[in-house]
Amino acid sequence: MSAFWSAWVTVITLAVILGCAWLLFATRKGEKFKETTEETVGHVYDGIEEFDNPLPQWWFYMFVATVIFGLGYLMLYPGLGNFKGLLGWTSANQWEQEMQHAEEVYRPVFAQYATLSVEDLQKPENAAGLKMGQRMFANNCSVCHGAAGTGAIGFPNLTDNDWLYGGEPATIKQTLVNGRNGGMPAWSAVLGEDGVRDVSSYVMTLSGQEAIPGTDISNGEKQFQALCTACHGQDAKGMHALGAPNLTDDIWLYGGSFKQIAHTIRAGRAGVMPAQKDLLSEDKIHLITAYVYSLSNK
């Protein structure tokens, strides 16, 4: 915050507090803590008059106390522009202290399950560990993959046993630790619009769908074999090493309609799974791995 805006915030904040205090004392009746009066404010509404009584003593002192508290708080904690407060407190430091405390409390619990394999964590006696993995999945992964892990357009379904990079525990953990960067190149410049339509129609037939009328399936197959098999394989069943999806199982990451497939081929796709190694400890990643593994091995 610049010096100008810091001064602006400070002046406005103090002016409001001190202005309220001035208003409180300026309008206070001369006769100290007078409880009743026969005077009225001069207003009559529907036969009702309002007496011009001063503030009750308890209310007056409570107002004064809030003013004193406000000034004291602003001296100790941030609130006046760039002034950090006499205690040097920050929300970031508070959060770090709480996270450190939680880490110290729960580290032994995570370490207990870290000694078990992902397969062992599937056993009923280790259900508590798997439940912890589920909660961490909800906090860190569900925003993309959904609360139940069923995914969305562009985000893989983790419950259907169809994996881009493989569903073995070690592979899942590697994905969580280092992340993934998937890339489907755009072929519009190479194929042209007619070629995009032909290949899209051919790809639809690979999963048992009907070809689109007016497209040349034989040309689509020819172009597919020339351009796509390097990643998707001769049988179009994909390749885990490259993260290339299986095109024969009617499971689609970006949708399996003609329009969606054509867009993928025409413009390409770029998917990113962020690495978690700098965000989560190894023990936490281990429990999330176990939970993700359980979703497709129930």
C-alpha separations of 101 from 89, 109, 125, 232 in Å: 17, 14, 28, 48
CB atoms < 10 A from the CB of 192, how many? 12
Q: Is the pLDDT of residue 93 over 80?
A: yes
According to DSSP, residue 215 is labeled -
Determine if residue 62 is labeled as part of a ligand binding site. no
Overall average pLDDT of the 284-288 stretch: 96
Nearest 5°: CA angle at 163, between 183 and 234?
65
Determine if residue 20 is labeled as part of a ligand binding site. no
Query: In the chain, pLDDT over 70 holds for what percent of residues?
Result: 97
210-261 pLDDT tens trace: 999 999 999 999 999 999 999 999 999 999 999 999 999 999 999 999 999 9
pTM above 0.75, yes or no: no
Determine if residue 286 is labeled as part of a ligand binding site. no
The partner residues of 44 in beta bridges, in order of sequence, read 49
User: Is 182-273 in the same CATH topology as 92-179+276-295?
Assistant: yes
What pLDDT band is residue 33 in, cutting at 50, 70 and 90?
A: low
Determine if residue 232 is labeled as part of a ligand binding site. yes
Determine if residue 273 is labeled as part of a ligand binding site. yes
What is the CATH code for 182-273?
1.10.760.10
Query: In the chain, pLDDT over 90 holds for what percent of residues?
Result: 78
92-179+276-295 belongs to which homologous superfamily?
Cytochrome c-like domain (1.10.760.10)
The domain spans of the chain are 3-89, 92-179+276-295, 182-273
